[in-house]
Amino acid sequence: MPILHDAGSVAGMPHDHHDTHTSHEPHDHMAEMLDLDAAVLHDFHREVIGWVGSLTPDRAHVVDVGAGSGTGTLALATQLPGVQVTALDMDQDLLEHLRRRAAEAGVADRVRTVRADLDQGWPDLGAPADLVWASASMHHLADPARALADVRAALRPGGRFAIVELDSFPTFLTDPAGAAVEERCHAELARMRHEHGMHMDEDWGARLTAAGFEVDGQRRFDLELRPPLPPLAGRYAQVGLQRARHGLADRLPSDDLAALDAVLGTLPDRDDLVVRATRWVWIGRRP
C-alpha cells in the first residue's frame, strides 16, 4: 500500500533534483512518463492540490507553468471544479497532448493552452492569476529571479505561487545488484544536470522571500509505495529506467549499461519493486 510521510515545514532544500529529459528523447516517451507519475503517485498529487486549493478562491484563474503533458493542469481542473486553468509550455507537441487529454476528461471548456518560453518573458494572459502552479519546471529556467518577479507581477494581490520540486527521480529496485546500478545512475544523472547548469539546489523558500512573496508553507513529502503496487507501477519503473539508460548511454561503463538492459528485460512484471521518491512544496503569497 502507498505510504506518504509528510515531513511538514522543514528548513533546507532538495539536494539533488532530476531531469533525465534530453533533446533527443521522443515527446511521447516524455508525456507517458509524466502521465505515469500522476497515476502512480496519485495520492501525493491529490493531497498537494487539496492543500493549494484550500488557499485558492472557488472561482479562480490558475496558471500552470511548464505544463508539459498536463498532469498538473488536469488535476487542478478536475479537483478544483470552479477554476479556469491556463497551461503554459514551450513544447507544442505536449500542449497538443494536453488538449486531447482535457477533452477526454471533459474539462476542455475550463482549460486553455498558451505556447510560451518563460525565459523570454511572461505572456499576456489577459487577466491576473489567483494561483500560479509550477511543478518540476522552475529548475529549467535560465533566470529564476526574473521568473519569480514575472510570476509576482502576474498574480493578484493575495494570490499564491505553488512550487513543487523533486529531490530526485524515483527509485524502484530492491535487489542489491539492481539497487547499486540504480544508485550509480542517479549519481551520474546528478553530475550531468550540474554540468548543464540547471537550478537543482535552489532554496525556493528563500527565493520567494527575496522576490517579495510571503512564504505560506514549506513541506517535504517522503513517498514510499510497497507491494501490492498500483497497476501502472511496473510500467512507470520501466519507462523511468529506459529514460535513464537513454540519457546515460555515453556516460556509463559498459557493465552498468548491460546491467540496466538486463533489468529492463524483467520489467514491467516484477513483483519486488518499491517506489520511493521525495517531493518538496513551497507556497508563496503575493502581499
Kindly tell me if the per-residue pLDDT of 24 is higher than 50.
no
Q: Report the share of the chain in percent with pLDDT over 90.
A: 75
Among positive and negative, which fits the CA dihedral 195, 196, 201, 203? Answer: positive
Residue 9's pLDDT band (cuts 50, 70, 90) = very low
Cell of 18: 532530476
Residue 15's pLDDT band (cuts 50, 70, 90) = very low
200-247: per-residue pLDDT in tens?
Answer: 678 999 999 999 999 999 999 999 999 999 999 999 999 999 999 999
According to the model, what pLDDT value does residue 19 have? 36
More confident residue, 247 or 11: 247
According to the model, what pLDDT value does residue 226 have? 97
Kindly tell me if the per-residue pLDDT of 73 is higher than 70.
yes
More confident residue, 166 or 257: 257
Residue 28's pLDDT band (cuts 50, 70, 90) = low
39-59: per-residue pLDDT in tens?
Answer: 999 999 999 999 999 999 999
Mean pLDDT computed over 67-78 = 93
Q: Which amino acid is at 41?
A: L
If you average pLDDT over every residue of the chain, what do you get?
88
Kindly tell me if the per-residue pLDDT of 13 is higher than 70.
no
Q: What domains lie within the chain, and their CATH numbers?
A: 2-173+199-231+273-285 (3.40.50.150)
Q: What is the DSSP string of the chain?
A: -EEEEEEES-SS--S-------TTS-HHHHHHHHHHHHHHTHHHHHHHHHHHHTTS-SS-EEEEET-TTSHHHHHHHHHSTT-EEEEEES-HHHHHHHHHHHHHHT-GGGEEEEE--GGG-----SS-EEEEEEES-GGG-S-HHHHHHHHHHHEEEEEEEEEEEESS--B---SHHHHHHHHHHHHHHHHHHHHTT--TT--HHHHHHHTT-EEEEEEEEEEEE-SSPPTTHHHHHHHHHHHHHHHTTTTS-HHHHHHHHHHHTTTT--S---EEEEEEEEEEE--
Mean pLDDT computed over 61-68 = 96
Kindly tell me if the per-residue pLDDT of 25 is higher than 80.
no
